[in-house]
Amino acid sequence: MTGRVLVAGFATRHVAQSAHRAGYTVYAVDHFCDRDLAWYTEDCLSFDDLAELPDRITELAARHPVDALVVTSGAETIGTTIPLCGTPPRKVERFLDKLEIQRFFEGLEVPVPPLAASDQFPVMVKPRRGAGGWRNAVVKTGEELRRWEETWPDVPYIAQRLVDGIPSSVSCVTDGRRARAIAVNRQILRGEGESAHGFAGSVTPFAHPLAEEMVAAAERIAAASGCVGSVGIDFMAGEKPWAIEINPRFQATVDTVEMATGESVFGMHMDACRGVIPAVRPAARQVAVRRILFAERDMRLDNDLSALAPRIADIPWPGNEFEEGHAVVSVYGVGETETAAYADLERNTGAVRRLIRG
């Protein structure tokens, strides 16, 4: 069963592409409206501020009658008259607040990094709201915490005790009562600068001794959450699988999950919204890696990168300008092993950098 869907959020290309491949007619409201988003959509409207999203959704739906609305980050709580395929705003609100997520995990007795006392350091400081981890920071002293507070004034936050481990996630689909894990992923973080803990890519599958424990915990968490459709559970794979966060929406790992398994994440999402979840976790056929390239300086991109597709995605239009540190393009690598996938990624990254540098 297919139809006409409107995908809305800050960044939608990964979901629109998945929906297009699944046979849907796709429309999008997106902050970037990158060049390749136009390949997968019949029409796209852009916006500058998230406050504009509801009006843009209404405008696009007036142009093109659609059967369903699917949301990504930034649009989770928007209420419209378009039938929603995903978690209802009244349920999703809880999982947009990291303090509420903390309490939810504690209530399930899932291992979660404990909240730190006010005089306890080092800690991981996180804004209570927001996605992508770009304002998260390891704070080692009271003075460093004050500097963080000065940088982000009036931003409520939580401080958790530090735990060691590898950033990872489990992608699930759920019908609101039952959940099935569809992939285990390793997360690639930026690793340096003010956005050191910001998301910068993923590897699927993630072969780790705790993978099956993470799967079991993620399925229990997702089922108990009451969320519907695509849901991601973030972990730190350390001495135990520490639950970190719930993402009650499509995750940025969609691309590598689909490339690794050959299955449609969008198709599984829509099935779950109708009460159908996979009987078993899809098997990985290969290893897929995605890495986001960020601008190394303030720059203008004059070259057309589209000839490098499908080795890249989130392709900017020629003439786009980028501030230092902002995302420019996503690059992929695939292979029978993780080593082979990374080698492919490096080849493709080299081709991209040559065009970016002109």
Q: What is the CATH number of the domain that holds 25?
A: 3.40.50.20
CA distance 280 to 283: 9
Q: What is the mean pLDDT of residues 25-42?
A: 98
State residue 137 phi and psi, 5-degree precision: -155, 145
Q: Is 307 helix (H, G, I), strand (E, B) or coil?
A: helix
pLDDT digits (tens, 9 = 90+) for 150-191: 999 999 999 999 999 999 999 999 999 999 999 999 999 998
pLDDT digits (tens, 9 = 90+) for 308-320: 999 999 999 999 9
Per the structure, the complete domain to which residue 315 belongs is given by 287-357
Specify the number of domains making up the chain.
Answer: 3
36 inside domain: yes
| Residue 10 near residue 53, CB atoms below 8 Å | no
CA distance 306 to 320: 14
What is the pLDDT confidence band of residue 192, given thresholds at 50, 70 and 90? confident
275 inside domain: no
Number of H helices, E strands in the chain: 10, 17
327 inside domain: yes
CA distance 7 to 296: 31
Does 76 share its domain with 135? no
Domain boundary among 161, 180, 200: 161
CA distance 170 to 6: 26
332 inside domain: yes
**H/E segment holding residue 222:** helix 211-225
| Core vs surface per residue 26-35: b (16+ CB within 10 A) or e | bbbbbbbbbb
Degrees to nearest 5, angle at CA 133 with 262 and 334: 25
pLDDT recorded at residue 144: 96
157 inside domain: yes
245 inside domain: no
Strands 4-9 and 25-30: parallel
pLDDT digits (tens, 9 = 90+) for 302-353: 999 999 999 999 999 999 999 999 999 999 999 999 999 999 999 999 999 9
Q: What is the CATH number of the domain that holds 153?
A: 3.30.1490
Domain boundary among 85, 115, 149: 85
184 inside domain: no
CA distance 133 to 200: 10
Burial class (CB in 10 A: 0-12, 13-18, 19+), 22: middle
pLDDT recorded at residue 357: 84
Q: What is the mean pLDDT of residues 186-208?
A: 93
Q: What is the DSSP letter of 81?
A: S
> Alpha helices of 24-118 — where are they, by DSSP H?
37-40, 53-63, 89-92, 98-108
Does 130 share its domain with 80? no
Q: Tell me how crowded residue 139 is: count the other CB atoms within 10 A of its CB.
A: 21
Of 236, 213, 209, 210, give the one whose Cα is nearest residue 138. 236
pLDDT recorded at residue 1: 63
CA distance 180 to 182: 6
Beta strand spans in the chain (E): 4-9, 25-30, 43-46, 68-71, 123-127, 137-139, 157-161, 166-175, 179-189, 199-204, 228-237, 241-247, 287-294, 299-301, 312-313, 320-322, 327-335
| Residue 286 near residue 345, CB atoms below 8 Å | no
pLDDT digits (tens, 9 = 90+) for 239-276: 999 999 999 999 999 999 999 999 999 999 999 999 99
pLDDT digits (tens, 9 = 90+) for 100-117: 999 999 999 999 999 999
pLDDT recorded at residue 310: 97
Q: What is the DSSP letter of 266?
A: H
For the chain, the maximum distance between any two Cα atoms, rounded to a whole number of angstroms, is 57
CA distance 130 to 137: 14
Does 77 share its domain with 115? no
187 inside domain: no
Residues in the chain: 358
